[in-house]
Amino acid sequence: MINVNEYFEGAVKSLAYTTPQGRSTIGVIEPGEYEFGTSSHETMTVIEGSLEALLPGQDKWETFTGGQTFEVEANTSFKVKTEVQSSYLCVYR
Residue 6 to residue 14: CA distance in whole angstroms: 7
Model pTM score: 0.93
Question: Would the pLDDT of 22 be above 90?
Answer: yes
Beta strands, E only, 1-93:
3-7, 12-19, 22-29, 32-38, 42-48, 50-54, 62-65, 69-72, 76-82, 86-92
pLDDT tens across 31-74, in order? 999 999 999 999 999 999 999 999 999 999 999 999 999 999 99
pLDDT value of residue 56: 96
pLDDT value of residue 29: 98
Question: Would the pLDDT of 1 be above 90?
Answer: no
Question: Would the pLDDT of 91 be above 90?
Answer: yes
